[in-house]
């Protein structure tokens, strides 16, 4: 409660005080509905794309453990993509660093309920985002799974959408008990220009219990669904999709050789059997 009041105070200061710049957009808590990283609307004003280099402040109440998971997530993401998260030493809101024009930054906080962000643009002067990582991401069964859950929220903040919500996802992965299908969010065209990836960091670990792969995805096994989050690593295809948004000049890949059609070496035998079985099935 106190924190919330403080934030309210901060925002009021932001708008009315310090800069004498009247308009802050998207500061209200209600705005989270649209900026939920799970939201179908995402960020309707733009197709992502943020700065590939993100200056990051940790909200002081994040625990050492949470900070270390976040740092590790940053380094895993930048190891395999051109996105960089640069942690800054904490500065209070009135510090000059936080008011420098041309220096957008993100404050990372934790939320019991949301994975969400709120972007504030003060007349193009200061661009500041508050990103809420949901508490449960830090409370997974293992450290690597926590890193995976945090990485998922970070890459979706950076503009990836859930692979399972792609318009073409149902061709490759089907839900066992069909519930109501969530609406398709707006995807960045770069993500959709590459093949569906059942192991993407954006696929929840729990999806292996709820989904199975179709005959159009013989290159992977049901047990591979959600593998990215399980090990807490971007897949090769996650990297390709992210880099296509932020540094397309670095991307070299053949979209016809996606994870659903190119098996891993260890699975080749199984893959051949599956293809054979499908072909047999089609005969009848
Ligand atoms: C967790 O991830 C790290 C880095 O990828 C890896 O070295 C380590 O073996 C993983 N731990 C477990 C228990 O899988």
If you ran DSSP here, which 8-state letter would residue 135 be given?
A: G
Q: Which residue has the higher pLDDT, 13 or 90?
A: 90
Closest listed residue to residue 109, CA positions, set 56, 31, 35: 56
Q: SS in 3 state form for 40-72?
A: CCCCCCCCCCCCCEEEEEECCCCCHHHHHHHHH
- As a whole number of angstroms, the distance between CA 217 and CA 195 comes to 11
pLDDT beyond 60 at 30: no
Cβ count near 201 (within 10 Å): 36
CB 159 within 8 A of CB 188: yes
For ligand 1, the distance from its centroid to the CA atom of residue 225, given in whole angstroms, is: 18
For residues 147-166, average pLDDT: 94
Nearest CA to ligand 1 atom 2: 144
Q: Which residue has the tokens 């049901």?
A: 222
Q: How far is the CA of 144 from the centre of ligand 1 (A)?
A: 6
pLDDT of residue 87: 95
Q: What Å distances lie between residue 157 and 51, 116, 211, CA to CA?
A: 12, 8, 25
Q: Which atom of ligand 1 is nearest to the CA of 144?
A: 1
Measured in angstroms, how far is the CA atom of residue 232 from the centroid of ligand 1?
8
Report which listed range, 49-58, 167-176, 179-188, is most confident: 167-176
Query: Rounded to an integer, what distance in angstroms lies between the CA atom of residue 235 and that of residue 233?
Result: 6
User: How far is Cα 264 from Cα 258, in angstroms, rounded to an integer?
Assistant: 11
pTM of structure: 0.82
Mean pLDDT of 200-206: 96
Using alpha carbons only, give the angle 28, 38, 65 rounded to the nearest 5 degrees: 85
Average pLDDT, the chain: 82
Minimal-distance CA residue to ligand 1 atom 3: 144
**Helix (H) or strand (E) segment spanning residue 150:** helix 143-157
Minimal CA–CA distance to 211: which of 72, 11, 220? 220
Ligand 1 centre to CA of 256 (Å) is: 30
Is 92 exposed, middle or buried, given 0-12, 13-18 or 19+ CB atoms closer than 10 A? exposed
pLDDT mean over 191-208: 96
Residue nearest to atom 12 of ligand 1 (CA): 144
What crossing angle do the helices spanning 64-79 and 143-157 adopt, rounded to 10°?
60
For 234, other C-beta atoms within 10 Å of its C-beta total: 28
Query: Residue 233's closest CA among 71, 83, 65, 76?
Result: 76
Reported as a single tens digit per residue, the pLDDT across 95-147 is: 877 777 777 889 999 988 767 777 766 555 557 888 999 999 999 999 999 99
* Ligand 1: nearest atom to the Cα of 143: 1
Residues 194 and 153: their CA atoms lie apart, in Å, by 20
The pLDDT confidence band at residue 230, using thresholds 50, 70 and 90, is: very high
The widest CA-to-CA distance across the chain, in whole angstroms, is 75
CA–CA gap between residue 221 and residue 269 (Å, rounded): 12
* Model pLDDT for residues 133-142, shown as the tens digit of each residue: 999 999 999 9
What is the number of alpha carbons within 13 Å of residue 171 lying toward its C-beta?
9
Residue 278 confidence class, pLDDT cut points 50, 70, 90: confident
For residue 41, the model assigns a pLDDT of 38
Cα angle for residues 171, 183, 54 (degrees, 5° grid)? 95
Task: State whether the beta carbon of 72 lies less than 6 angstroms from ligand 1.
Answer: no
- Ligand 1 pocket test target in 80, 144, 235 with most atoms within 8 Å of CB: 144
CA 137 from centre of chain: 12
Q: Is 192's pLDDT higher than 70?
A: yes
pLDDT-derived band of residue 271, with 50, 70 and 90 as boundaries?
A: very high
CA 49 – ligand 1 centroid, Å: 30
SS3 211: strand
Testing ligand 1's pocket by substitution, the residue of 231, 233, 234, 235 carrying the most ligand atoms inside 8 A of its CB is 231
Residue nearest to atom 11 of ligand 1 (CA): 144
């Amino acid at each position: 409660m106190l924190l919330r009041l403080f934030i309210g105070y901060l925002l009021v200061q932001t708008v009315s005080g310090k800069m004498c710049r009247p308009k802050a957009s998207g500061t209200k808590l209600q705005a989270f509905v649209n900026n939920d990283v799970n939201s179908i609307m995402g960020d309707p004003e733009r197709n992502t794309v943020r700065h590939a280099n993100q200056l990051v402040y940790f909200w002081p109440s994040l625990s050492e453990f949470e900070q270390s998971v976040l740092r590790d997530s940053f380094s895993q993401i930048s190891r395999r993509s051109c996105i960089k998260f640069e942690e800054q030493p904490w500065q209070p809101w009135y510090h000059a660093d936080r008011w420098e024009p041309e220096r957008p930054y993100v404050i990372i906080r934790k939320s019991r309920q949301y994975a969400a962000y709120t972007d504030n643009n003060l007349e193009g002067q200061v661009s500041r985002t508050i990103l809420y990582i949901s508490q449960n991401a830090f409370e997974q069964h293992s450290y690597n799974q926590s890193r995976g859950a945090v990485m998922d929220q970070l890459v979706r903040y950076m503009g990836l959408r859930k692979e399972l919500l792609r318009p073409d996802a149902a061709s490759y992965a089907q839900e066992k008990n069909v519930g109501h299908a969530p609406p398709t969010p707006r995807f960045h065209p770069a993500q959709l220009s590459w093949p569906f990836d059942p192991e993407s960091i954006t696929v929840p670990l729990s999806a292996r219990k709820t989904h199975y792969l179709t005959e159009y995805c013989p290159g992977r096994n049901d047990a591979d669904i959600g593998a990215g989050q399980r090990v807490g690593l971007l897949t090769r295809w996650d990297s390709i999709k992210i880099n296509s948004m932020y540094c397309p000049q670095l991307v070299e890949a053949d979209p016809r050789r996606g994870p659903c059609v190119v098996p891993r070496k260890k699975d080749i035998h199984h893959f051949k059997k599956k293809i054979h079985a499908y072909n047999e099935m089609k005969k009848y």
